[in-house]
Copies of this chain bind each other. A is one copy, B any other.
Amino acid sequence: MPDAHDLLWGHRPTPTRGPRRTLTVEHIATTAITIADADGLPATTMQRVAERLDVTKMALYRYVPGKDELVALMIDTALGEPPDGPPAPWRAALRSWSDALFTRFAAHPWALAATIGPRPIGPHELTWLERALAALADTALTGSEAMDTVATLVGHVRGIAQQMAAQHTEAALQHSFATLVEGRADRFPAIVRALSSSSSSDNQDSDNQGSDNQGGALAFGLDRVLDGVELFLRVKANPS
């Protein structure tokens, strides 16, 4: 039986004797993903996956050594290959890369919970990293600076995806905060202030320096991070 790494990277034994296999690991993974997308990761039991495939629960163990390995497969399959657009300068490339990553996480919210803790990395996931680092290859960033930049972007993308998974809209998030601080304005004055100043539409200065603030929290954070990196590069090139 192949282990998690072999499974992810396609090192799978192809037996010749015995009955034809009725399933494939890919089919199992996509079925599990469908269930997880609909009802979440806890509802994705071996039993339910097997039922959808019209086999017994134990049949799955002929393809996958255990549930952890199935989840690892689900993650790498759900993430998929990063979309490849036309070559672009590093900032635009990282911007669309981040947006694409967000889209994937938004489509598969369970993947956020599944990608926590030590776990095997699959080829698709590594390709995402490859693309991001490639975008930064022509800059003056060192290797670890580039790595750290990607980590920051991923952290932000995941964070916002998490918020959206918990509260579908930003308005709902604000509403739940508002409910919490209600009657406790003395303990949380800054939250009260922030909520009131954001609900009231005070965008009299709507052409704020080209930063597309309409996109919400995801765009705002991405623009701040990329601004920070851009500044870092500028200072590095010209330490005035």
State in angstroms the CA–CA spacing of A180 and B190 once bound together. 46
CB-CB contacts of A131-157 with B at 8 A, as 1s and 0s? 101101100001111111101101111
Binary interface encoding of chain A residues 204-240 relative to chain B, with 1 for a CB under 8 A from any of its CBs, else 0: 0000110101001100110111111101100110010
Stretch at the interface among A18-26, A31-39, A59-67, A109-117: A109-117
- Contact for A166 among B118, B143, B190, B195, CB less than 8 A: B118
The reply to whether A197 and B143 form a contact with Cβ atoms under 8 Å apart is yes
Closest to A115 in B: B162
Q: Which residues of B contact A194 (CB under 8 A)?
A: 133, 137, 143-144, 146-147
Tell me which residues across on chain B come within 8 A of A142, comparing CB atoms: 197-198, 202
A117 / chain B contacts, CB cutoff of 8 Å: 109, 113, 162, 165-166
Query: Does residue A121 face the partner (Cβ distance < 8 Å to B)?
Result: yes
A193 at interface by CB-CB < 8 Å: yes
Query: How many copies of this chain?
Result: 2
Number of interface residues of A (CB under 8 A): 79
Q: Are B209 and A235 touching (Cβ within 8 A)?
A: yes
A175 at the interface (CB under 8 A from B): no
Contact status of A224 and B221, CB under 8 A, knowing A142-B202, A147-B194: no
* A-B contacts, 24 listed (Cβ < 8 Å): A112-B116, A113-B116, A117-B162, A117-B166, A118-B166, A118-B167, A133-B194, A134-B190, A136-B190, A137-B194, A143-B195, A144-B194, A144-B217, A146-B194, A148-B220, A149-B224, A154-B159, A155-B157, A155-B158, A155-B160, A158-B159, A209-B236, A224-B232, A227-B227
Binding site for B on A (CB under 8 A): 109, 112-113, 116-119, 121, 123, 126-127, 129-131, 133-134, 136-137, 142-149, 151-152, 154-160, 162-163, 165-167, 170, 174, 176-177, 180-181, 187-191, 193-199, 202, 208-209, 211, 213, 216-217, 220-221, 223-229, 231-232, 235-236, 239
